[in-house]
């Protein structure tokens, strides 16, 4: 495998894992925002969770297409 392909594989794995870390924090803050009455903020954070899930799905799909 050439160097760029190895680098891309590493980055895709890293980005997917990093997204999951962010998602966990977003979920925690959705709950906190609701508890302190920031319903609109909580709704937007929940949308960020959904977008992060979508992003992770595409990163994992790209990785799978590379032969993983």
pLDDT band at 68 (very low <50, low <70, confident <90, very high): low
| Rounded CA separation 41/52 (Å) | 16
User: Which runs of E-coded beta strand occur in the chain?
Assistant: none
Beta-carbon contacts of 55 under 8 Å, excluding residues fewer than 6 positions away, are 19
- Length of the chain equals 68
CA–centroid distance for 67 within its chain: 21
pLDDT tens for 4-61 read 999 999 999 999 999 999 999 999 999 999 999 999 999 999 999 999 999 999 999 9
With 80 as the cut, is the pLDDT of residue 1 above it?
A: no
């Amino acid at each position: 495998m050439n160097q760029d392909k190895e680098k891309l594989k590493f980055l895709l794995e890293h980005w997917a894992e990093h997204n999951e870390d962010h998602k966990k924090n977003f979920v925690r803050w959705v709950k906190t925002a609701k508890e302190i009455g920031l319903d609109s903020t909580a709704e937007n954070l929940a949308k960020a969770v959904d977008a992060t899930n979508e992003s992770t799905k595409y990163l994992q799909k790209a990785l799978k297409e590379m032969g993983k």
